[in-house]
Amino acid sequence: MSIGADAFGFVRDHVRAESAIVLETGKEYLVESRLLPLARQTGHDSVDTFVAELRRTRNPALMRQVVEALTTNETSFFRDSDPFVALRQDVLPTLAKERPGRSLRVWAAACSSGQEPYSIAMTTRDTPEVAGWKIDIVATDLSEEVLAKARKGEYSQLEVNRGLPVTTLVKHFQRSGINWRINPDLAAMVQFRQLNLMRPFGPVGRFDVVFLRNVLIYFDLATKRDILRRVRQVMAPDGYLFLGAAEMTMGVDDAWERVPAGRSSVYRIREDQRSCVR
Amino acid sequence: MTITTGPDTDLVQAALEQVWESMLYAVAEPVPSTAGALANGLEATITVSGAWNGELRLFCDAGAASQMAATMLGAPADEEMPELDVHDAVGEILNVVGGSVKGALEGESRLGLPQVRPATSLPDPADCVAVSWRGAPVYVQIVSLPA
Amino acid sequence: MRALIVDDSRAMRRIVGRILTERGFETAEAADGQEAIAVLESMDDLPAVACIDWNMPVMDGLELVTAIRARPEWRDITLMMVTTESEQDRIVRALAAGAHEYLIKPFTPDALVEKLDLLGLVPTPGGVA
Ligand SMILES: C[S@@+](CC[C@H](N)C(=O)[O-])C[C@H]1O[C@@H](n2cnc3c(N)ncnc32)[C@H](O)[C@@H]1O
């Protein structure tokens, strides 16, 4: 029961066009296992017949669900830990000196089920330099499904076990039945909305810090370059960009420079490129 | 006096899903629960006492239990597992399910230690959750007991 | 680096043991609190970390944490509860008794490794305990 080359090709092209996620040959098994539940829901017993019908009808709702089923949502609280240490020890204290208005705006682009923006919120609470500041976190993702979960702010035992020191868990979460729910004061800092990074960002405002982690890896070079260029346009000239551990700007968009921060690094718009975004 | 309501089937199902995912690397698909005989089965029991008094009882086929134990312990699925390991593994599965369920209840309750023994019949399907493990049904019955 | 695993379930001891061994720990086991104390007393090289279940016969995990914390010669052992007890007040009680971390069962192998990393317990390959 392996997906046919034809069906795989159609799914790959559609997903590529809609999300720029590249599904190389070899990912047939992944496609098959992710699409099987969707195929079953629509009365098919194989992914092949499901895709055949999709090619005929082009049902927009289903076409969209196919993309959602294939975008990996893997995430965890304080993922890789170092970026959050850098945020608390370097980035926030530096920005605190530069913002007399005592307010900051943070963007978690591709926030998945919310662990990343809530980790940012918890980090700001642990940073004395910004105590009492107005901090707005805008968290966006392509998938409505993960956003619904993120808005609910409820996580399973398996999810809270990952990456969260237990003192942080008992401080910032409450039991809610079998799950744990983020406390309302943190939830109030984060605003979730749907946004496709491939499309124009729209009126998002200007950000002091942008987390764009573990999503560029799915895109081809031209798309990465275009996204990084547009991120520059919505960043404060002295702002900070965080990428995933496997991602970098070098050779993609050289208007950025990499600066060490703690045990990891962050990206800033190069001095000579800052004037054009002012 | 407040009367604490016991666990419902949704809660037990949710607990089973997390245990299946993390300890058995499987999806706990709900299956219809049917009454009847277990030719060669196991029953694990764990008590909860305090705000709610009762037991959770897990029933499954001994062959399925052996495969669950093998999966948990990282042994090949068809490896014949010693009875001691099988009983212990099934008891631990119920212990973890019981702990998750107990933690979700209102008020203070205590969890007992799991007991495992052979079983030959299935419980009343009415108060049971049934999920599949590699096609074989695993039942968890919720039993309220007088304090 | 050594680790002591205290759990009345042999299956759970093996699951935790396998994850720790893969991570480079040398492991020792005990099936209840009293046995754990006996194992610790017999060791020349104390473990860097003890993973402790809560509900066990003879002596439970909370009593064990309290007993270990009462012995100054064992103060360098990092104590991590690994238990299905998951109410907020239980967690707080274990921390107050002297546990440093707390992993709720069920957990994925990643979660255990990440907790050890958070505690700075990373064995150096080929290094001494
Ligand atoms: C692997 S997760 C990363 C989550 C989080 N940033 C982290 O590092 O843990 C990738 C996320 O990117 C989202 N995504 C994929 N393509 C996207 C697009 N074109 N626009 C916005 N989000 C996208 C997916 O829905 C998924 O939630």
What is the structure's pLDDT at B2? Answer: 46
Strands A264-269 and B37-50, bridge-based pairing: unpaired
- The yes or no reply on domain A82-276 and CATH 3.40.50.150 is yes
Percent of chain B with pLDDT over 90: 58
Write out pLDDT tens, residues C69-126: 999 999 999 999 999 999 999 999 999 999 999 999 999 888 898 899 889 898 876 5
- On whether any CB of chain B is under 8 Å from the CB of C32, the answer is no
Q: Which CATH number fits domain A5-69: 1.10.155, 2.60.40, 1.10.101, 1.10.3470?
A: 1.10.155
Domain boundaries defined on chain B: 9-51+60-113+129-141
Chain C residues whose CB is inside 8 A of the B19 CB are: 106
Q: How many Cβ atoms sit within 10 Å of the Cβ of residue C115?
A: 25
**H or E element, residue A62:** helix A60-70
Q: Is C10 on the interface with B (CB under 8 A)?
A: yes
Nearest-neighbour CA in chain A from B20: distance (Å): 11
- To the nearest whole Å, the CA of B11 is away from the closest chain C CA by 15
What is the model's pLDDT at position B34? 76
Separation between Cα atoms, residue B95 and residue B114, nearest integer Å: 6
Question: How far apart, in whole angstroms, are the C-alpha atoms of residue A248 and residue C87?
Answer: 42
Range B106-128 average pLDDT: 88
d(CA A118, CA C54): 30
Q: Distance (Å) from the C-alpha of residue C67 to the closest C-alpha of chain A? A: 22
The ipTM (two decimal places) reads: 0.91
Within chain B, how many helices (H) and strands (E) appear?
3, 6
Quick one: which H or E segment has residue B22?
Answer: helix B9-23
Quickly state the pLDDT bin for C128 (edges 50, 70, 90).
very low
Kindly identify which residue of chain B lies nearest to residue C16, measuring between CA atoms.
Answer: B73
Of C87, C95, C111, the CB nearest to A162: C111
Interface touch B99/C8, C-beta < 8 Å? no
- B29: pLDDT strictly greater than 90: no
Residue B95 tokens, joined: 């212990």
Catalytic residue among A48, A141, A208, A253: A141
Establish whether residue A81 lines the binding site of ligand 1, counting it when its CB lies within 6 angstroms of any ligand atom: no
Which pLDDT score, from 0 to 100, does residue A1 have?
45
Residue A170 is nearest to which of C88, C106, C111, comparing CB atoms? C88
Q: A79 CB less than 6 Å from ligand 1?
A: yes
The ranges of chain A with pLDDT < 70 are 1-2, 19-21, 26, 29, 71, 275-278
A196 lines ligand 1 (CB under 6 A): yes
- Cα–Cα distance measured from residue A235 to residue A186, given in angstroms and rounded to the nearest whole number: 23
The yes-or-no verdict on residue B3 having pLDDT over 60 is no
CB-based contact (8 Å) between C22 and chain A? no
Check residue A105 and give its pLDDT: 98
Hey, which chains touch C, using 3+ CB pairs under 8 Å? A, B
Q: Tell if the CB–CB gap between C111 and A174 is shorter than 8 Å.
A: no
Which residues have CB under 8 Å from B1's CB, separation 6+? none
| CB-based contact B92 C11, cutoff 8 Å | yes
Contacting residues of B for C56, CB less than 8 Å apart: 113
**A20, two tokens:** 């720029």
Report pLDDT for B37. Answer: 72
- The CA-to-CA distance between both ends of chain A, in Å, stands at 56
> Does ligand 1 have an atom closer than 6 angstroms to the CB of A98?
no
Q: How many CA atoms lie within 13 A of A266 on its CB side?
A: 24
d(CA A212, CA A194) in angstroms, rounded, equals: 15
- Residue C116's nearest CA partner among C102, C96, C126, C128 is C102
Q: What is the 3-state secondary structure (H, E, C) of A28-60?
A: HHHHHHHHHHHHHHCCCCCHHHHHHHHHHHCCH
Point out the residue among B11, B21, B22 whose CB comes nearest to the CB of A177.
Answer: B11
Determine contact, residues A178/A157, Cβ cutoff 8 Å. yes
pLDDT digits (tens, 9 = 90+) for A146-204: 999 999 999 999 999 988 999 999 999 999 999 999 999 999 999 999 999 999 999 99
- Amino acid C129: pLDDT: 42
- B residues 48..87 contacting A (CB < 8 A): none
Selecting from A161, A166, A170 the residue whose C-beta is nearest the C-beta of C107 gives: A161
Q: Is the Cβ–Cβ distance between A152 and A144 less than 8 Å?
A: no
Between chain A and chain C, the number of residue pairs with CB atoms below 8 A apart is 41
User: Measured from the CB, is residue A42 less than 6 Å from ligand 1?
Assistant: no
d(CA C53, CA C9): 9
B3-9: long-range contacts (C-beta < 8 A, 24 or more apart)? B4/B51, B4/B52, B4/B105, B4/B106, B4/B107, B5/B52, B5/B106, B6/B52, B6/B54, B6/B105, B6/B142, B6/B144, B7/B52, B7/B54, B7/B56, B7/B101, B7/B104, B7/B105, B7/B142, B8/B142, B9/B127, B9/B128, B9/B129, B9/B142
**A75 in contact with ligand 1, CB cutoff 6 A:** yes
Sequence ranges of the domains in chain A: 5-69, 82-276
Which of A100, B120, A178, A207 minimizes the C-alpha distance to C87?
A178
Residue A34 annotated in active site: yes
Q: Which of A178, A179, A180 to mutate to test the interface with B (most CBs of B within 10 A)?
A: A178
Active site residue A208: no
Please answer yes or no on whether B113 and C57 come within 8 Å at the CB atom: yes
Contact A268, A254 (CB under 8 A): no
Taken in order B61, B66, B69, B74, is the CA torsion positive or negative? Answer: negative
**What average pLDDT does range B75-81 have in this prediction?**
81
pLDDT tier for residue C68 given thresholds of 50, 70 and 90: very high
Taking an 8 Å cut-off on Cβ atoms, the answer to whether C107 and B22 are in contact is yes
Considering only alpha carbons, which residue of chain B is nearest residue C107? B22
Is the dihedral angle over the CA atoms C29, C35, C36, C37 positive or is it negative? negative
How many angstroms does the Cα of residue A31 sit away from the middle of ligand 1? 17
